[in-house]
């Protein structure tokens, strides 16, 4: 393997260097600093670690308020992204407060109302917000029971919380509304809570219909796209045709005269138009685009040589893991290289935001995943004090990571500033979304593994190359519209996300017991294409690589793929998940039909969150080479399950989305422009290619910490398909998208290049 | 002025006749159901039914729709009183972000009006033009099958609510 000679940075310096990026995920205030977003929060010194996000917002009434009528309002700093988080959080509060979920109102991310929980990302919502609400609700219940005990003159432990009231053994009851006063819950949370007994849970673990669905099915105002404020006008942006293009000249006079046009924003290379009606804005945008002349520069790599070049780009070395114990003599050595193309988030609804600039203050309605970080970035962009910027999260089309949401909010803010007092709604066009959103970065991994004579893995060397997976707005420079202004904001230099969660190195470390192991991450700072967090980050390629390679090792050792994994695992939860998926799939009794094959893969997300195993059967059309996944069976362990159907929905969706990424998807570009700008140049999964069936088995672990599932299935699903493909046609495809790669290597690539 | 017949109601709109129906529904008529997804006829988020067939409202100018029957998802029922197809989607919890779902439901509605007991491949064929990025496809299929079953039993049982 040829190596560039990158600067060596140790894990410690990577962590330190990545320190500022912790902001993107945890946003921990310094001890002694009031948690932002908890108005009136007194400075508290961090004492004992509080559970979940209580750490950042320790006052109970930041999370939970009860009015005099007994109505409960729960506050979360997380956002509903279509993952059903609202319903799950209501279930948690309902369980601990012993009231019906329907009696709870839930307020999601809003910089003037909810705690600051950073970004809704990384499958963290259940862990962070779910855990905080669980404890806040349990502690609130105990406080209420304590007050009731005093009033009734009996010990608190004789009281029961039941249906929104404290109930005494003799039947006397006092409703929560009569027990609370304004200050009751304005207290600091304790590190320990008396949680309700998991074996008695009635709402947690039950399938409660999602609260956000009915409006979405009946044309209710469910999305930021549906906001209609009084006097609202519409805007569209004319983007440059390529990264770094400069506006040479633009004739705006004729555009100004078009019907409905109210204003044209022209600031450096930034061009936008405001009109009374939405279609008038679209027509004016088209006219403005025709009236603009740009100067472009080729700055993109040669796509045909991308993977040959990627590993030669300057990189910094992050040592992920390394150990060496006494090993048996290796009998065989295998090595392989796995690749993943640039891919888009591709929300079906292009990014959108509404902004109102009034009296020197800005309000933005946004589907951003992080209203607090967005607020800071917008304040910086418009040079306003943070208190003058208010960001309210409203659901949009599913985002799957850092898409155009924050940029659209910046567009709306910049444009609204030009028409004070008027709410401005801006929605991106399809090409804006396809070409300008930050992509999931192209990645490359090389693995070298050895087996002993008995087919046990002896050694494992792994190198992965990737850009950053985090360019979320920490500052205005990560808001793409800011790059085009007369006084542009440059994108800050990227940094690797720190382990243990990691970015490009997320899941780079196999969970298997391997005596001699080295895992290195080659972090590439240069970003010719705009990139950021796409669901599961580096775990997608790393799990694809590790689990494909495990399959190659199993074939080389003539071992069963499931057995080989089980033999190298010590974690019983991992083993249980693998066995469950294999059994339900019928792995042991599988009979291969012509043109079909089976594949298996497993991972524990980030090596510290949900466990997922996926088995699939694929069929390959001999003529066309089209790959069809016939069925998939998954098993998942995400700790205590709040909403079993919610978990199934996430895993089902994660698998289908991963099939789409894995089989079909790649951003295309020439040396200057992104050329995949619509759904015909960037095809995705359609109904005809959807499996007959995806079965999801959820193993409940009552009392275990909540673990998110939004990103748990993508890596395993990708590898399971590649492994099934190898089983079906004996061709090992190591580059995503698989369909394109298989067409290219139709003549076949030998199984795991063996070295002697 | 152009007269449109939307969900059984006749409305006059003063938009430019070249305006695609989608913008008139969402703007002038303040109906949220039809969604902008691509404006190119590639994703189906904007699907509505004109007379009996699904069309891309993002591509259809209102000039072509004078006096024709337009059905949007608002015409299938309300949040308080969901129609059978909406009930089936709720029963199957057939949405993640839900942005694609109105378009999917209208394709399914047009199919079920034509063929109340469609085969699996007929359902998939009818939905093929619709893109879903969340991977909700299997739930959408289950919801359509459920609606078809329930329609069949409503018909044989003589229940009044046989609108899909
Ligand atoms: S918005 Fe009409 S087909 Fe996509
Ligand atoms: S449910 Fe999100 S696009 Fe279909």
Could you report the per-residue pLDDT of A576-626, keeping only the tens digit for each? Answer: 999 999 999 999 999 999 999 999 999 999 999 999 999 999 999 988 889
Q: Which residues of B touch A652 (CB under 8 A)?
A: 135-136, 138-139
Half-sphere exposure of A541 (CA within 13 A, CB side): 33
Between residues B156 and A305, the one the model is more confident about: A305
pLDDT band at A10 (very low <50, low <70, confident <90, very high): very low
Average pLDDT of the residues in A105-116 = 94
**Do residues B11 and B22 share a domain?**
yes
Q: Which residue has the higher pLDDT, A440 or A183?
A: A440
- Is residue B40 included in any domain, yes or no? yes
Name all domains of chain A by residue range, CATH numbers in brackets: 19-214 (3.30.365.10), 223-301+350-431 (3.30.365.10), 558-751 (3.30.365.10)
Closest-CA distance of chain B to residue A646, Å = 9
Across the interface, which of A218, A221, A649 has its CB nearest the CB of B93?
A649
Identify the band that residue A84 occupies on the pLDDT scale cut at 50, 70 and 90: confident
pLDDT of residue A14: 28
Q: Which ligand is located closest to the Cα atom of residue A652?
A: 2
Cβ–Cβ below 8 Å for B127 and A649: no
Same domain, B65 and B81: no
Where do we find the tokens 């970004």?
A119
Rounding to the nearest 10 degrees, give the CA dihedral for residues A413, A415, A421, A422. Answer: -110
DSSP letters along A81-125, please? SSS-HHHHHHHHHHHHHTS-GGGEEEE--BTTTS-----S-TT-H
Highest mean pLDDT among A25-34, A200-209, A353-362: A353-362
**Residue where one domain finishes, among candidates B75, B105, B124:** B75
Domain-ending residue, one of B75, B104, B120: B75
DSSP class of residue A606 equals G
A739 sits in which H/E element: helix A738-744
Model confidence at A744, pLDDT cuts 50, 70, 90, reads confident
Helices (H) and strands (E) in chain B, counts: 5, 5
- The pLDDT tens digits for A206-231 are 999 999 999 999 999 999 999 999 99
Quick one: CA dihedral A383, A388, A394, A400, positive or negative?
Answer: positive
pLDDT(A12) > 90: no
φ/ψ of residue A378, rounded to 5: -70, -40
**Same domain? B20 vs B84:** no
Structure token pair of residue B79: 């949040």
How high is the pLDDT of residue B158? 61
Asked if residue B51 belongs to a domain, the reply is yes
Chain A hits for B131, CB-CB cut-off 8 Å, are: 348, 679, 684, 686
Token pair listed for A249:
């000249």
Answer whether residue A44 shows pLDDT above 60: no
Segments forming the whole domain that contains residue B118:
77-155
In terms of domains, do B63 and B38 share one?
Answer: yes
Q: Between A and B, how many CB-CB pairs are < 8 A?
A: 180
Give the CB-side neighbour count of residue A370, counting CA atoms within 13 A.
Answer: 28
Residue B160 domain flag? no
Residues B20 and B65 in one domain: yes
Q: How far is the C-alpha of A445 from the C-alpha of A1, rounded, in Å?
A: 12
Task: Tell me the chain B residues in contact with residue A82 when contact means C-beta distances shorter than 8 Å.
Answer: 95-99, 134
B164 lies in a domain?
A: no
**pLDDT tens sequence across B114-158:** 999 999 999 999 999 999 999 999 999 999 999 999 998 888 876
**What mean pLDDT is predicted for residues A626-651?**
95
* Cα distance from N-terminal residue to C-terminal residue, chain B: 32
Q: Check whether residue B64 and residue B85 sit in a common domain.
A: no
Burial level of A44, CB count in 10 A (0-12/13-18/19+)? middle
Q: Name which of B96, B128, B139 is nearest A686 (Cβ-Cβ).
A: B128
* Average pLDDT value for chain A: 91
What is the tens place of the pLDDT at every residue in A377-418?
A: 999 999 999 999 999 999 999 999 999 999 999 999 999 999
State yes or no: pLDDT of A31 exceeds 80: no
Contact, A602 vs A551, CB < 8 A?
A: no
Q: In this complex, do B138 and A690 lie within 8 Å of one another by their Cβ atoms?
A: yes
Q: Is A376 helix (H, G, I), strand (E, B) or coil?
A: helix
DSSP B26: I
pLDDT of the residue at A708:
86
Probe target for ligand 1 pocket from B58, B99, B101, B132, with the most ligand atoms within 8 Å of CB:
B58
Cα(B107) to ligand 2 centroid in Å equals 15
Q: What is the dihedral of CA A528, A529, A534, A538, to 10 degrees?
A: -30
Cβ atoms B33, B86 nearer than 8 A: no
B95 and B53 inside one domain:
no
Nearest CA in chain B to A687: B128
Q: Does residue B63 share a domain with residue B82?
A: no
Block residue for tokens 């960037």: A682
Answer with the one of B75, B104, B127 that is the final residue of a domain: B75
Residue A460 forms beta bridges with which residues? A449, A517
Q: Tell me which residue in B76, B96, B125 faces A82 most closely, judged by beta carbons.
A: B96
Q: Which residue has the tokens 């470390």?
A: A509
Sheet hosting strand A72-75, strand order edge to edge: A64-66, A72-75, A104-107
Structure confidence at residue A622 (pLDDT) = 84
Q: What is the CATH number of the domain that holds B48?
A: 3.10.20.30
Residues B120 and B52 in one domain: no
- The count of structural domains within chain B is 2
How confident is the model over A296-302, as a mean pLDDT?
Answer: 97
Task: Say whether pLDDT at A422 is over 90.
Answer: yes
Tens of pLDDT, residue by residue over A496-521, are: 999 999 999 999 999 999 999 999 99
Cβ–ligand 2 contact at B137 (below 6 Å): no
Of the candidates A84, A218, A657, the beta carbon closest to that of B82 is on: A218
End-to-end Cα spacing for chain A: 15
Count Cβ neighbours within 10 Å for each residue of B91-106 and write b for 16 or more, e otherwise.
ebbbbbbbbbbbbbbb
In a domain, B163, yes or no: no
Residue A22 confidence class, pLDDT cut points 50, 70, 90 = very low
Which residue on chain A is closest to B106 by alpha carbon?
Answer: A217
Residue B161 confidence (pLDDT): 62
Q: What is the complex's ipTM, to 2 decimals?
A: 0.96
pLDDT at position B98 is: 97
Per-residue pLDDT reduced to its tens digit, A473-490? 989 999 999 999 999 999
As a whole number, mean pLDDT of residues A632-661 equals 95
B81 shares a domain with B71: no
Q: Do A218 and B73 touch (CB under 8 A)?
A: yes
Burial A2-16 (b: 16+ CB within 10 A, else e): eeeebeebebeebbe
Asked if residue B23 has its Cβ within 6 Å of ligand 1, the reply is no
Report the atom number in ligand 2 closest to the C-alpha of B98.
1
Decide if B162 is inside a domain: no
Domain assignment present for B57 = yes
Report d(CA A438, CA A425) in Å as an integer: 22
Confidence band of A83 (pLDDT split at 50, 70, 90) = confident
Same domain (yes/no): B91, B61: no
The alpha-carbon gap from B4 to the nearest alpha carbon of chain A, in Å, equals: 18
User: Measured from the CA of B42, which atom of ligand 1 is nearest?
Assistant: 3
Find the CATH number of the domain harbouring B113.
1.10.150.120
Residue B19 lies in a domain: yes
How does residue A47 score in pLDDT terms, banded at 50, 70 and 90? low
Whether B98 is in the pocket of ligand 2, judged by its Cβ within 6 Å, is: yes
**Quick one: B70 and B86 in the same domain?**
no
What is the torsion angle, in degrees rounded to the nearest 10, for the CA atoms of residue A187, residue A176, residue A199 and residue A88?
-80
What residues have CB less than 8 Å from A157, skipping those under 6 apart?
Answer: none
pLDDT at site A617: 98
CA B149 and chain centroid, separation: 19
- For each of chain B's 164 residues, which pLDDT tens digit applies? 899 999 999 999 999 999 999 999 999 999 999 999 999 999 999 999 999 999 999 999 999 999 899 999 999 999 999 999 999 999 999 999 999 999 999 999 999 999 999 999 999 999 999 999 999 999 999 999 999 999 988 888 765 565 66
What is the per-residue pLDDT for A13?
A: 28
- Tell me the pLDDT tens digit for each residue of A685-706: 999 999 999 999 999 999 899 8
**Measured distance CA(B85)–CA(A306) in Å, rounded:** 48
CB A80 within 8 A of CB A108: yes
Which residue CA neighbors atom 4 of ligand 2 most closely? B132
Rounded CA separation B4/A473 (Å): 44
d(CA B20, CA A349): 17
The predicted pLDDT at position A503 comes to 96
pLDDT band at A644 (very low <50, low <70, confident <90, very high): very high
Inter-chain CB proximity A213 and B78 less than 8 Å: no
């Amino acid at each position: 393997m040829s190596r560039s000679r990158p600067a060596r940075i140790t894990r410690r310096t990577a962590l330190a260097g990545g320190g500022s990026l912790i902001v993107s995920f945890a946003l921990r205030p310094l001890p002694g600093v009031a948690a932002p977003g908890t108005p009136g929060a007194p400075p508290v010194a961090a004492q004992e670690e509080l559970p979940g996000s209580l750490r950042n917002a320790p006052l109970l009434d930041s999370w939970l308020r009860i009015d005099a009528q007994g109505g409960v309002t729960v506050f979360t700093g997380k956002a509903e992204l279509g993952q059903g988080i609202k319903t799950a959080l209501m279930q948690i509060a309902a369980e601990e407060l012993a009231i019906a979920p329907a009696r709870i109102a839930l307020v999601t991310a809003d910089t003037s109302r909810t705690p600051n929980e950073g970004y809704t990302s990384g499958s963290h919502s259940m862990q962070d917000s779910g855990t905080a609400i669980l404890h806040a609700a349990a502690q609130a219940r105990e406080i209420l029971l304590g007050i009731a005990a005093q009033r009734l003159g009996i010990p608190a432990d004789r009281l029961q919380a039941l249906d929104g009231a404290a109930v005494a053994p003799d039947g006397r009851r006092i409703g929560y509304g009569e027990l609370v006063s304004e200050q009751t819950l304005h207290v600091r949370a304790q590190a320990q809570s008396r949680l309700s007994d998991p074996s008695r849970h009635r709402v947690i673990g039950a399938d409660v219909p999602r609260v956000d669905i009915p409006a979405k099915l009946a044309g209710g105002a469910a999305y930021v796209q549906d906001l209609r404020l009084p006097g609202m006008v519409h805007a569209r942006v004319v983007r440059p045709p390529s990264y770094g293009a400069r506006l040479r000249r633009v004739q705006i006079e004729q555009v100004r005269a078009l019907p409905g046009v109210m204003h044209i924003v022209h600031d450096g290379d930034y061009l936008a138009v405001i009109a009374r009606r939405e279609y008038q804005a679209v027509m004016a945008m088209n006219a403005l685009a025709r009236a603009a002349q740009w100067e472009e520069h080729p700055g993109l790599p040669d796509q045909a040589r991308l993977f040959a070049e990627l590993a030669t780009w300057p990189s910094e070395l992050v040592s992920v893991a390394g150990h060496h114990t006494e090993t048996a003599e290796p009998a065989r050595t295998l090595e392989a290289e796995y690749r993943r193309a640039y891919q888009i988030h591709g929300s079906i609804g292009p990014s959108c935001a509404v902004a109102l600039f009034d009296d020197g203050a800005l309000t933005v309605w946004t589907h951003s995943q992080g209203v607090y970080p967005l607020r800071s970035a917008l304040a910086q962009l418009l040079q306003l004090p943070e208190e003058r910027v208010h960001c309210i999260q409203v659901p949009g089309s599913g985002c799957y990571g850092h898409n155009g949401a924050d940029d659209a909010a910046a567009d709306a803010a910049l444009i609204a500033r030009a028409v004070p007092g008027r709410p401005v709604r801006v929605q991106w066009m399809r090409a804006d979304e396809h070409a300008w959103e930050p992509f999931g970065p192209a990645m490359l991994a090389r693995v070298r593994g050895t087996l002993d004579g008995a087919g046990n893995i002896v050694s494992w060397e792994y190198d992965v190359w990737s850009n950053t997976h985090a360019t979320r707005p920490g500052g205005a420079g990560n808001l793409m519209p800011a790059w085009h202004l007369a006084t542009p904001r440059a994108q800050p230099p990227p940094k690797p996300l720190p382990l243990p969660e990691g970015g490009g190195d997320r899941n780079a470390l196999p969970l298997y017991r391997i005596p001699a192991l080295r895992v290195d991450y080659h972090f590439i700072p240069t970003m010719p294409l705009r990139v950021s967090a796409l669901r599961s980050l580096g775990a997608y390629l790393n799990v694809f690589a590790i689990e494909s390679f495990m399959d190659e090792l199993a074939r080389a050792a003539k071992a069963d793929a499931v057995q080989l994994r089980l033999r190298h695992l010590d974690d019983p939860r991992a083993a249980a998940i693998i066995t469950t998926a294999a059994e339900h799939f019928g792995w042991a009794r599988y009979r291969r039909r012509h043109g079909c094959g089976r594949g298996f893969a497993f991972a524990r997300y980030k090596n510290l969150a949900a466990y997922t195993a996926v088995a699939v059967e694929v069929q390959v059309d001999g003529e066309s080479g089209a790959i069809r996944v016939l069925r998939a069976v998954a098993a998942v362990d995400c700790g205590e399950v709040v909403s079993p159907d919610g978990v199934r929905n996430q895993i089902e969706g994660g698998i289908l989305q991963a099939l789409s990424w894995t089989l079909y998807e790649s951003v295309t570009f020439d040396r200057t422009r992104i050329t995949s700008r619509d759904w015909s140049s960037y095809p995705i999964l359609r109904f005809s290619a959807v499996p007959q069936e995806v079965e999801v088995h959820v193993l409940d672990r009552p009392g275990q910490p909540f673990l998110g599932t939004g990103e748990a299935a993508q890596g395993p699903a990708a590898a399971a398909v590649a492994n099934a493909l190898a089983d079906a046609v004996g061709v090992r495809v190591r580059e995503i998208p698989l369909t394109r790669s298989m067409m290219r290597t139709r003549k076949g690539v030998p199984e795991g290049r063996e070295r002697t | 002025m152009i007269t449109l017949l939307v969900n059984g109601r006749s409305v006059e709109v003063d938009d430019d006749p070249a305006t695609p129906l989608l913008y008139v529904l969402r703007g002038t008529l303040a109906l949220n159901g039809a969604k902008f997804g691509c404006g190119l006829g590639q994703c189906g988020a904007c699907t509505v039914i004109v007379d009996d067939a699904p069309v891309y409202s993002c591509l259809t100018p209102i000039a072509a729709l004078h006096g024709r029957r337009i059905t949007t998802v608002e015409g299938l029922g309300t949040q308080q009183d969901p129609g059978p197809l909406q009930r089936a989607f709720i029963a199957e919890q057939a949405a993640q972000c839900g942005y694609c779902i109105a378009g999917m439901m209208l394709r399914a509605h047009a199919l079920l009006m034509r063929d109340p007991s469609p085969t699996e491949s007929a359902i998939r064929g009818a939905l093929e033009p619709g893109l879903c990025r969340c991977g909700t496809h299997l739930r959408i299929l289950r919801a359509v099958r459920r609606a078809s079953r329930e329609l069949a039993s409503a018909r044989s049982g003589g229940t009044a609510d046989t609108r899909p």
